[in-house]
Amino acid sequence: MKSAKGRFRAKLHPIAVRFSSSLSVDRKLYREDIEGSLAHAATLARQGIISREDAGKIRKGLLEIRRELEKGTFNPEQPGKGENRFAADDIHMAIEQRLIAKIGDAGGKLHTARSRNDQAALDGRLYLRSAIRTISGHLRSTQRELLRLAEKYRDVIMPAYTHLQRAQPVLFAHHLLAYIAMLDRDAGRFGDAMRRVNLSPLGAAAATGTSFPIDRAAVASALRFDGIIENSIDAVSDRDVHLEAIAACAITMMHLSRLAEELVLWSTREWSFITIGDAFTTGSSIMPQKKNPDVAELIRGKTGRVYGDFMALLTVMKGLPLAYNRDMQEDKEPLFDAAETLSACLEVLAPMLKSITVNSDRFEKELGEDDLLATELADYLVRNGMAFRKAHAIVGRLVVLSEKKNLPLSRIPLEEYRKHSRSFAKDLYSALTPRGSIARKKSSGSTSPREVARAILRWKNRLK
């Protein structure tokens, strides 16, 4: 079969070939590309656009090519022979060229009623659909591991912090439950994005649709999409679902980074609150005593990559006129990197959490000797009829006195308290214990043992 020169009389310059090729990146999409092509060929035959015989040849050839790619016997980045002596510039053309080489003219009919524009948009959505499912599974695994820790250490007390300053006593389980809730919203964002991802662009062709009588709804259904993208220009010219998914990745990475930072802090000798298992820490090349939380640090560090992925694609898309532009070839690297980085971080986080042991006695005695219970004193005065703002000022002066005398609030004599307010009585000291402070919380969603127990049960039922 002779090569048809078509519109061009000169070959693309080798430097331009290398510059414009996306094959090293988008070859990752070969499964999605073949899946879409199988469905497209079937609908072409069903609509009588190509013969069933040709559709059968196309199907057989595509399945063979998929096996070749999986086994590594076909490398699309290596120049072929004869008609395929020049490597294709993307995975779509690589597969098509290979198909034509295998089955002849029938392979050239596959691209009827289709453009690389709607083909690329389809592959991206198929990839995203799979990535979201993988990420969602990892999110649930991480939530379950956090829940296991919360239940195991449900009675452990630690300081809650604001401004990285000790604020009030809190149950460690309550702290972990906050992360479970954050990750649940992350899962919700991916689930919400999936509704927009799971629509088929196939049939939009280059931008305006096709004159062939294809059945867009049927091929969408065959590919397990919820429907089609109605406007053909919109179908090929936007990457907002990519951006939405990367944004969800970035927000999730932010949550993971905050948790990773706390794991790093808690595992220091200064905190001595947790120990991370040896399998998720490393030593020093020079200091034999070191046990470094490298995995947690890498999660924290990789967050910046995903933020960059979001900004990169947002910048690519910001000034593009409708419809398709070659700039949009640059959508794949940030999409792949964001999805795979987040997936890898979640995949390692769950077993790392499983390896953690908590020093249950680390804080309780210390907190009883601290000024974290000052808010309890203010609440005590309010319960005795004083306006909160006035109570706040009185307790603030008592904290200054505590610091001056180097005495914890629980050891300041009653007569000293009564100099500041006659509302103080002997029972004030019952307010000055960490467990008493936690137990007195009454609001829904608080750190009280009852609320924490309810939350653990609720999450156990939800995460089954």
Q: Which residues are catalytic?
A: 163, 284
Residue 401: DSSP 8-state: H
> Comparing C-alpha atoms, which of 394, 363, 401 is closest to residue 380?
394
Task: Calculate Rg over the CA atoms of the chain.
Answer: 31
Strands (E), 142-232: 157-162, 165-171
Q: Where are the alpha helices (DSSP H) in 267-387?
A: 294-317, 332-354, 364-368, 374-383
| Dist CA 128 CA 25 (whole Å) | 15
Half-sphere exposure (Cβ direction) of 452: Cα atoms closer than 13 Å:
25
List beta partners, residue 159.
Answer: 169
Q: Alpha-carbon torsion 337, 340, 342, 344, what sign?
A: negative
CB 203 within 8 A of CB 216: yes
Query: Nearest 5 degrees, angle CA 27-CA 232-CA 127?
Result: 30
Q: Report residue 93 CA to chain centroid gap.
A: 31
Which token pair is 450? 């009852």
Residue 3: DSSP 8-state: P
Listed in sequence order, the residues at least 6 apart from 127 whose beta carbon sits closer than 8 Å to its beta carbon are 28, 29, 32, 335, 336, 339
